Copies of this chain bind each other. A is one copy, B any other.
Amino acid sequence: MSRYTGATQEDLREMLGAIGVESLEELFKDIPESVRLGRELDLPPGRSEQEVYEHLAALAARNRSAEDEITFVGAGMYDHYVPSLIDTLLGRSEFLTPYTPYQPEISQGGLQVMFEFQTAISELTGLPVANASVYEGPSAVAAAGYLAKLETRRTRLVASRGLHPHSRAALATHAAGYGMEVVEVPLDEDGATDVEALAAAVDDDTAAAFVQQPNFLGTVEDVGALAEAGKRTGALLVAAADPIALSVLKPPGELGADLCVGEGQPLGNRLDFGGPSFGFFAADQRFIRKMPGRIAGETRDVDGKRGFVLTLQTREQHIRREKATHNICTAQALNALAGVVYLSWLGKRGLVELGELMLRRTHYARETLGLEAINPGPVVREFAVRVPDLPDVMQRSRAAGINPGYPLARDYPEFSDGLLIAVTERRTKEHIDRLASLVGAQVPEGAPA
B91 adjacent to A50 (CB under 8 Å): no
B425 adjacent to A50 (CB under 8 Å): yes
Q: Is A364's beta carbon under 8 Å from chain B?
A: no
Q: Is A5's beta carbon under 8 Å from chain B?
A: no
Which residue from B50, B53, B81, B93 sits with its C-beta under 8 Å from A53? B81
CB closest chain-B residue, reference A94: B92
User: Number of A residues contacting the other chain (C-beta, 8 Å)?
Assistant: 12
Q: Which residues on B sit within 8 Å (CB–CB) of A426?
A: 50
| Smallest CB separation, A147 vs chain B (Å) | 38
Contact string against B for A residues 78-122, beta-carbon threshold 8 Å, 1 for contact and 0 otherwise? 000101100010011100000000000000000000000000000
| Smallest CB separation, A130 vs chain B (Å) | 28
| Smallest CB separation, A75 vs chain B (Å) | 22
A50 adjacent to B81 (CB under 8 Å): yes
Which residue from B49, B84, B92, B93 sits with its C-beta under 8 Å from A81? B49
Copy count, this protein chain: 2
B49 adjacent to A84 (CB under 8 Å): yes
Alpha-carbon distance A53/B425, docked complex (angstroms): 13
Alpha-carbon distance A314/B425, docked complex (angstroms): 56
Q: Which residues on B sit within 8 Å (CB–CB) of A88?
A: 91, 93
| Smallest CB separation, A126 vs chain B (Å) | 27
| Smallest CB separation, A161 vs chain B (Å) | 35
Chain A, 223-280, CB within 8 A of any chain B CB? none
Alpha-carbon distance A49/B50, docked complex (angstroms): 32
Q: Which residues on B sit within 8 Å (CB–CB) of A93?
A: 88
B92 adjacent to A49 (CB under 8 Å): no
Contact string against B for A residues 20-52, beta-carbon threshold 8 Å, 1 for contact and 0 otherwise? 000000000000000000000000000001100
Chain A, 404-428, CB within 8 A of any chain B CB? 425-426
Q: List 12 A-B contacts (CB under 8 A).
A: A49-B81, A49-B83, A49-B84, A50-B81, A50-B425, A50-B426, A53-B81, A53-B84, A88-B91, A88-B93, A91-B91, A92-B92
Besides the contacts A49-B83, A88-B93, what 10 more A-B pairs have beta carbons closer than 8 Å? A49-B81, A49-B84, A50-B81, A50-B425, A50-B426, A53-B81, A53-B84, A88-B91, A91-B91, A92-B92
7 closest Cβ contacts across the A-B interface?
Answer: A50-B81, A49-B83, A91-B91, A88-B91, A50-B425, A50-B426, A49-B84
